Structure formats: C-alpha cells, structure tokens
Amino acid sequence: MNPMIILIAGPYRSGTGGDPDLIAANLARLEEAAWPIFQAGHVPMIGEWVALPVLHHSAGAVTAEDVLYPVAQRLLRHCHAVLRLPGESTGADQDVAIARERGLPVYHRIEEIPGHLSVTEPSS
C-alpha cells in the first residue's frame, strides 16, 4: 500500500455564526481525524493548516473565502483521497465534488481508509 495524502474535509466556519470558540471546536474535530489517518500509514492534511497562516499574513488584504476555498482546491491537486466528516459545509462539499471529478476516493468513515487499525490511541 502506498501512502496517500488525505484531505480531511468538514465544517470549519459553518454553523458557528463566526464564534471563535465554535470555529476552534470545529478545527479540533477535523484534527481528531489526523492521528488515525497517520496511524494507517498516510499523511493527513487539513486545508486550514495551510490557509490560516496565509490569511493571517495577508494583513486583512483578503477575506477568508478568498483564501480557504482556493487553498483546498490547490491542495486537492496533490491529494490522493478525501475524508468527508459529517456536518453541513459548503467548502467540504466543494472538496468532495472536486475529488470525485478527479476520480479520487471519498471516504466518509475513518474505518474505510486502507490500512486503518482498530486501535486509534497513541501508544505510551
């Protein structure tokens, strides 16, 4: 099995009303999927990991929409699959559509990812 770069797609700003605590909770939920993907032998990727520093260093010259969606689209040129987490998200739906157009697998559960192990906690 060759390692894949798997884009984790799900709600980030959706349903938060712009509340920073809810946005942070959504990011934490996306990041929870990173360890089992890594443990399965793959490289997890979340678009916000790239987009947020870009947005921060734009010094307000652009909006989140100007950066978040284009970063995900560019990342998908390098990804081998998408893990779509539950929840309403226009951006995640766009990621899935792009992945399908490119013939990339779209997983909806971590257990579907090749190499997934039933043990998902880091070893001590």
Domain range list for the chain: 5-112
Q: In this structure, which amino acid lies at residue 5?
A: I
Residue 122, pLDDT score = 54
Residue 118, pLDDT score = 60
Q: How many CB atoms lie within 10 A of CB 106?
A: 16
Q: Give strand ranges (E) for the chain.
A: 5-9, 43-45, 81-84, 106-107
Measure the CA–CA gap between 47 and 55, rounded to whole angstroms. Answer: 12
Residue 119, pLDDT score = 47
For the segment 40-62, what is each residue's pLDDT rounded down to a tens digit? 999 999 999 999 999 999 988 88
Q: Is 0.85 topped by the overall pTM?
A: yes
What share of the chain has pLDDT > 90, as a percent? 87
Q: Give strand ranges (E) for 17-110.
A: 43-45, 81-84, 106-107
Q: What CATH architecture does domain 5-112 belong to?
A: 3-Layer(aba) Sandwich (3.40)
